[in-house]
A and B are shown apart, each in its own frame.
Chain A
Amino acid sequence: MTEKKIRVLIAKPGLDGHDRGAKVVARALRDAGMEVIYTGLRQSPEMIAEAALQEDVNVIGLSILSGAHLVLVPRVIDLIRANGQEEVKVFVGGIIPEEDIPVLTQAGVSAIYGPGTPTTKVVQDIRDAFSAV
């Protein structure tokens, strides 16, 4: 009895703020039939990579409110690639200045969602990425 589920890790790296946005996305993904591992606030890149490994996730969603994304996001990606999870997709949600977007894309981020992005778009993008699998 084979049952495949898309597993998504939702994490909030950095020291700032609340995780309302992350929770909204987590719920939308659950409602779309995905299994969402929710790790909570103030996660270091090391903690995120460790959880992604143990949980064997397909997707990591990073919720960023301000500031240190140029450091944190590439660091997460470096760690998960070093762990051998080459195929894991990483998306970022939050306020990212226009000029930083190419930097993050270059680092391997597959999608960036600004404030006000409908959650249906996030769901659809993930589904599209895994429909071939």
Chain B
Amino acid sequence: MVDLDAVTRGNRLELARLLTEVENQTPAGEQALDRLFARAGKAHLVGITGAPGTGKSSLVSCLAKNIRVAQKQTVAIVAVDPSSPFTGGAILGDRVRMRELAGDPGVFIRSMASRGELGGLASATAGVVQVLDAAGFDFILIETVGAGQSEVDIACLAYTTLVVESPGLGDDIQAIKAGILEIADILVVNKSDLPGAENTARALRANLDLGYHLHMNHNGAHRMTIKENEVRNTPAWTPPIIQTIATQHNGIDEVVAEILKHREYLIDTGLWQKREQDRLRSEVYHLLQTGLVKRWQQSTPPQVFERLLQKVFARELSPRAAIDSLLNGSYN
């Protein structure tokens, strides 16, 4: 159905069609992912998140342009916007801010709707990113609106995560509440042409310092998967705070320089590999869980499960005892 060789040779129509299959999680899409897996793992995945309207798309556009011109590398962009929970529809408007990338064959932009399924966004996004990676893009920029668990998941996918703030946006307290600072490898204060930018940057710095005392040697290794003792000997990465004006291409060189520096840091400390392995480990583990449950369901009549549930409802069995008896076959 989809011509994978064409995808890896750079056929953009085939690539676009494959992305649809992967996004829809069709059997054709999943088979393609299996076959492309060996080719992926080379791209630098960069997550860009932050509150609505802080200028993420504008910034992504600037970053892509800069990477194209100064680094002579290719860039794919995945821009995720929320689906309406009521209708399942979505308006995906990030391209509006990416006009200046039009006509460049070294850039590929794809908009995605979150489609509201729990955990589904992360896996669909991971699939889309894997295809773009296998298609040979050097950088993959992933834009998500910072509003919950999903961007933490996407931060897990990325090697480098940028959190974008802008002045006067309910400021620092909110950012901390959302736990969003913790996922930042690089903090960007965009719209620095507006009043209050210095204050925002200062507040971020203060919060960051506080956070770092609490989290000790956090190392940019983030997301709790890494035990402290495993990284104790690695030098810490302190997220830089950079002020930008995306609408004027101001401060972009510095952001790109920090992205490259962060990559170097991850590689030098072995965290690049560790991060990738942690992600793959949890993916395999997750699939194992789903697979085992599915197999168990196929081999166990639903009445057995239902009968056991009734006993739990009647408080004759605790949930744990119920599962024990299910798994060791001693039920009934």
Name A's B-contacting residues (CB within 8 A): 1-5, 7, 26-27, 29-40, 44, 46-47, 50-51, 53-56, 83-85
Q: Can you name the residue of chain B whose Cβ is closest to the Cβ of A51? A: B95
Task: Give per-residue flags for B49-93: 1 if the beta carbon is below 8 A from chain A beta carbons, else 0.
Answer: 000000000000000000000000000000000011001111111
Distance in angstroms between the alpha carbons of A60 and B309 in the assembled complex: 51
Distance in angstroms between the alpha carbons of A117 and B111 in the assembled complex: 28
Q: Can you name the residue of chain B whose Cβ is closest to the Cβ of A48? A: B102
Beyond contacts A38-B91, A47-B103: 4 other A-B pairs, Cβ-Cβ < 8 A, are A3-B115, A5-B88, A30-B84, A36-B89
Task: Give per-residue flags for B95-122: 1 if the beta carbon is below 8 A from chain A beta carbons, else 0.
Answer: 1100100110000111101010100100
Supply 12 A–B pairs (Cβ within 8 Å), ascending by A. Answer: A3-B25, A30-B84, A30-B87, A31-B89, A32-B89, A33-B88, A35-B113, A37-B92, A53-B13, A53-B16, A55-B16, A56-B17
Q: Is B19 an interface residue (CB 8 A)?
A: yes
User: Chain A residues near B102 (CB, 8 Å)?
Assistant: 44, 46-47, 50
User: Chain A residues near B286 (CB, 8 Å)?
Assistant: none
User: Chain B residues near A54 (CB, 8 Å)?
Assistant: 12, 16, 108-110
Distance in angstroms between the alpha carbons of A3 and B88 in the assembled complex: 11
Q: Is B24 an interface residue (CB 8 A)?
A: yes
Q: B91 to A85, Cβ gap below 8 A? A: no
Q: B89 to A56, Cβ gap below 8 A? A: no
**Number of residues of chain B lying within 8 A (CB) of chain A:** 31
User: Chain B residues near A3 (CB, 8 Å)?
Assistant: 24-25, 115
Secondary structure dominating the interface of B: mixed
User: Chain B residues near A51 (CB, 8 Å)?
Assistant: 95, 109
Q: A40 to B95, Cβ gap below 8 A? A: yes
Q: How many A-B residue pairs have CB under 8 A?
A: 83
3 closest A-B pairs by beta carbon, nearest first, are A30-B89, A40-B96, A56-B16
User: Chain A residues near B99 (CB, 8 Å)?
Assistant: 40, 47
Q: Can you name the residue of chain A whose Cβ is closest to the Cβ of B15? A: A54
User: Chain B residues near A1 (CB, 8 Å)?
Assistant: 25, 117, 120
| CB proximity of B82 to chain A, nearest CB, Å | 11
Q: B108 to A35, Cβ gap below 8 A? A: no
Q: Tell me whether A33 and B89 are in contact in the complex, defined as CB-CB below 8 angstroms, given that A1-B120, A2-B26, A54-B110 are known contacts.
A: yes
Q: B25 to A2, Cβ gap below 8 A? A: yes
Q: A53 to B12, Cβ gap below 8 A? A: yes
Q: B110 to A55, Cβ gap below 8 A? A: yes
| CB proximity of A118 to chain B, nearest CB, Å | 18
Most chain A CB within a 10 A radius of its CB, from B19, B88, B91: B91
Distance in angstroms between the alpha carbons of A47 and B24 in the assembled complex: 26
User: Chain B residues near A26 (CB, 8 Å)?
Assistant: 91
Q: Is B20 an interface residue (CB 8 A)?
A: yes
Distance in angstroms between the alpha carbons of A3 and B12 in the assembled complex: 23
Distance in angstroms between the alpha carbons of A27 and B84 in the assembled complex: 11
Distance in angstroms between the alpha carbons of A126 and B63 in the assembled complex: 36
Q: A30 to B24, Cβ gap below 8 A? A: no
User: Chain A residues near B89 (CB, 8 Å)?
Assistant: 29-36
